[in-house]
Amino acid sequence: TPPRILRGRLLSFNRRPLSIADTESYEYEDDGGLLISEGRILAFGPFETVLLDAPEGAEIVDHRPNLILPGLIDTHLHFPQMQVIGSYAANLLEWLNTYTFVEEQRFADPAHGAGIAVAFFDEMIRQGTTTAVAYCSVHKASADAYFAEATRRNMLMLGGKVLMDCNAPEALTDTPQTAYDDTKAVIADWHGKARNHMVISPRFALTSSHEQMDVTGALAREFPDLHIQTHLSENTAEIARALELYPEAQDYTDIYARYDLLGTKTLLGHAIHLSERERDVLHETGAVAVHCPTSNLFLGSGLFPFKEYERRDNPVRIAVATDIGGGTSYSMLKTMDEAYKVQQLRGERLNPLESFFYMTRGNAEALSLSDRIGTLAPGSDADIVVLDARATPAMALKMDVVTTLAEELSLLQTLGDDRAIAETYVAGCPLKSGL
């Protein structure tokens, strides 16, 4: 592909906005130009300036009046749960046993996984999500299907074969030994190939025996550069069960700490009901609490203390995610709409600049990948989303009275969904228009 200049309104964050008036936290170009070539961003600036410095023959793609942002990032979802979404259940444990542990068994069949992978990646592109961190199923074949499709589309994706050896149907369990062997095989087959990142993925304390936790800790020590993902403190009945299974642990967080699973590359899904001690442990280890608002509301799990985690003397690192299929939307816009409402119920506010920071650079920082993604800074990968705040008649009507960038972002988050995603570029290639 020839070098391209994307023309439009550029928005890229440098750091977390401290208030709605924090204009220092981001770069904005009203008539901007973004030069991309060979999968990378080469220049960011006023259109006329970028045009002057661009190589001969660069193609101009006019996205005015739309906003051009870094591609959206989803830091926690389940690839084998596309057909679980919306399943009616009272709470987490009923939902897992009734629907999820049944559905995931179908991924023993490689052909099933391959088919769902196509639908899954199509949906990511449709929603403007260019990087995601997924749990596959317990079957190695599900991770193969996931990474094969990510490779085909040249997307920067993280994911892992799930480790689970107890308290689940026989057909959905591995053993400590097969968990170890299959994890190593997925690393050997996929990690570092194309843009793939393999993630060590013990499902949660309830479905891993002490022996499997030992093996998980051994994997973490053997591969210190890999990310680790698991679930923590989502639901009160789950917490009680975890402490029954691991009576030697001080609290739920301590279960994972005892096996060396907490570090700056650890992603802890939900992490809602944490004591002050546990919050301190997350701070000290640098592990990330991943907020999944639509899932927490759908399963009635609780209201994530976002602002409390941010504000404390020892802040907890935070990321945001859909948690499909406990979550109810693939859209990161809709996810932040619900995150905003969860904070309202806690008497707190999450401003629209913060929301868009978290969907992009914030999540990239949580993954230790902000040198590559989550920003439009020159040198980054050309993973880009184009947002149309006039995508529907109701949005266009509201846009007639919008006067500030923050108001436009608030509108995009409140009424926006896949229709507001005008284009999704992956490594410089426009993929949404090709769907």
Binding residues for ligand GUN (CB under 6 A): 78, 92, 96, 100, 203-204, 231, 234, 295, 323, 326
Centre a 10 Å sphere on the Cβ of residue 375 and count the other Cβ atoms it contains: 24
Instruction: Determine the 3-state secondary structure of 156 from DSSP.
Output: coil
Residue 352 near Fe ion by CB under 5 A: no
Question: Rounded to the nearest whole angstrom, what is the least distance from the CB of residue 412 to Fe ion in the complex?
Answer: 25
Distance CA 125, CA 47 (A): 26
User: Which of ligand GUN, Fe ion, none does residue 291 bind to, with CB < 5 to 8 Å depending on kind?
Assistant: none
Residue 104 near Fe ion by CB under 5 A: no
User: Which of ligand GUN, Fe ion, none does residue 80 bind to, with CB < 5 to 8 Å depending on kind?
Assistant: none
Distance CA 273, CA 398 (A): 38
Site string for Fe ion, 257-276 (x = CB under 5 A): ------------x-------
User: Which of ligand GUN, Fe ion, none does residue 204 bind to, with CB < 5 to 8 Å depending on kind?
Assistant: ligand GUN
Question: Rounded to the nearest whole angstrom, what is the least distance from the CB of residue 324 to Fe ion in the complex?
Answer: 8
Alpha-carbon separation of residue 52 from 37, 44, 45, 55, 370 (angstroms) = 16, 12, 11, 9, 28
10 vs 274, which CB is nearer to ligand GUN?
274
Token digits of residue 195: 């843009």
Pairing state between β 4-13 and 26-37: antiparallel
299 vs 391, which CB is nearer to Fe ion?
299
CA of residue 215 relative to chain centroid, distance: 26
Query: CB–CB of 142/119 below 8 Å?
Result: no
Instruction: Determine the 3-state secondary structure of 267 from DSSP.
Output: strand
Query: CB–CB of 383/426 below 8 Å?
Result: yes
Residue 29 near Fe ion by CB under 5 A: no
Question: Rounded to the nearest whole angstrom, what is the least distance from the CB of residue 181 to ligand GUN in the complex?
Answer: 22
Distance CA 133, CA 358 (A): 15
Name the nearest CA neighbour of 34 among 57, 63, 13: 63
Ranked by CB distance to ligand GUN, the top (closest) residue is: 326
Question: Rounded to the nearest whole angstrom, what is the least distance from the CB of residue 18 to ligand GUN in the complex?
Answer: 31
User: Which of ligand GUN, Fe ion, none does residue 63 bind to, with CB < 5 to 8 Å depending on kind?
Assistant: none
Q: Where are the alpha helices (DSSP H) in 191-274?
A: 210-222, 236-245, 252-257
The dihedrals phi and psi of 159, each to the nearest 5 degrees, come to 180, 170
Question: Rounded to the nearest whole angstrom, what is the least distance from the CB of residue 102 to ligand GUN in the complex?
Answer: 12
96 vs 386, which CB is nearer to ligand GUN?
96
Question: Rounded to the nearest whole angstrom, what is the least distance from the CB of residue 203 to ligand GUN in the complex?
Answer: 5
Residue 293 near Fe ion by CB under 5 A: no
301 vs 413, which CB is nearer to ligand GUN?
301
Residues 331, 1, 144, 365: is their CA dihedral positive or negative?
Answer: negative
292 vs 427, which CB is nearer to ligand GUN?
292
Question: Rounded to the nearest whole angstrom, what is the least distance from the CB of residue 268 to ligand GUN in the complex?
Answer: 11
Question: Rounded to the nearest whole angstrom, what is the least distance from the CB of residue 157 to ligand GUN in the complex?
Answer: 18
Token digits of residue 401: 């009275």
| Size of the chain, expressed as the number of residues it contains | 435
User: Which of ligand GUN, Fe ion, none does residue 235 bind to, with CB < 5 to 8 Å depending on kind?
Assistant: none
